Amino acid sequence: MTTAAGAGDDTAGLPPAPEVVQIEVGLLQNFCEILWCPETRAAAVVDPAWEVDRLLREAERLELKIELALITHTHNDHIEGVDELCAKTGAAVVVNPREAARVSAPGRTLTDAVDGRDIAIGRRGVRALETRGHTVGGTCYLADGYVVTGDVLFVGGCGRTDFQGGDTAAMWQSLQRLMRLPEETRVYPGHNYGETATSTIGHETRTNRFLRCATFDEFRALREQKRKA
Beta carbon nearer to Zn ion, 67 or 151 = 151
User: Which residues in the 173-212 window bind Zn ion by CB under 5 A?
Assistant: none
Torsion of CA 184, 189, 193, 196, to 10 degrees: 30
To Zn ion, the closest distance from the beta carbon of 56 in angstroms equals: 23
> Cα–chain-centroid distance for residue 112?
14
Stretch that binds Zn ion, among 14-22, 95-103, 120-128, 143-151 (CB under 5 A): 143-151
Backbone angles phi, psi at 91, to 5 degrees: -65, 145
Measured distance CA(78)–CA(76) in Å, rounded: 5
To Zn ion, the closest distance from the beta carbon of 110 in angstroms equals: 20
Measured distance CA(58)–CA(44) in Å, rounded: 12
Stretch that binds Zn ion, among 37-45, 101-109, 121-129, 147-155 (CB under 5 A): 147-155
* CB-based contact 14:139 (threshold 8 Å): no
Beta carbon nearer to Zn ion, 67 or 77 = 77
Beta carbon nearer to Zn ion, 37 or 158 = 158
Beta carbon nearer to Zn ion, 42 or 170 = 170
| 151: contact with Zn ion by CB under 5 A | yes
Measured distance CA(28)–CA(51) in Å, rounded: 12
| Residue 2 Cα distances to 33, 143, 209, angstroms | 24, 13, 30
| 75: contact with Zn ion by CB under 5 A | yes
Beta carbon nearer to Zn ion, 47 or 67 = 47
Stretch that binds Zn ion, among 43-51, 71-79, 107-115, 140-148 (CB under 5 A): 71-79
Closest listed residue to residue 213, CA positions, set 168, 164, 165, 146: 168
Binding residues vs Zn ion (CB under 5 A): 75, 151
